[in-house]
Structure 1
Amino acid sequence: MVAQSNISAIRKAYTLLSENGGKVNNYGMTNNEWFDFLVDLNISALGLERLTQQLETMSGSVANSRPH
């Protein structure tokens, strides 16, 4: 079970993967498979934060211009 505090971080990472799947997803996984992978891995909140920052950097930091 994923901690409730991690759900928003997972959703953010999933959104980035969905919007930038062609550039970010280098492993031939569908976005749903990526989401399942993140959930199954049950990454800590810190780990998800780092992953999200990396994805934002890889996707041209589009998400950084959005209000949080």
Structure 2
Amino acid sequence: MKVIVGQLVMDLFQVGKTYEVGTQSKDGQFDIYNQCQVKEKVSGRILLEVYEKNDEEVIGVEWVDWETVRTVKEV
């Protein structure tokens, strides 16, 4: 059986649900999206509507690549 890791990560997210997501960029920067809602999933990328990031209130949207996701928790 062949497992596609990217698809497994993408399957952790459901459009419309709210999550806490930890990401780590290639340069080692670690970010916590404390509260965000998944708006869309496209080609290995997740569009998040962000309400709180790194313990600071933020309102906006950000695309996140599946490869940067380190932690996921539904809230």
Whose RCO is larger (CA < 8 A, sep 6+)?
1
Q: Please, what TM-score do these two structures have when normalized by structure 2?
A: 0.31
Q: Please, what TM-score do these two structures have when normalized by structure 1?
A: 0.33
Higher strand share: 2
Higher helix share: 1
Report which of the two structures shows the higher radius of gyration computed on alpha carbons: 2
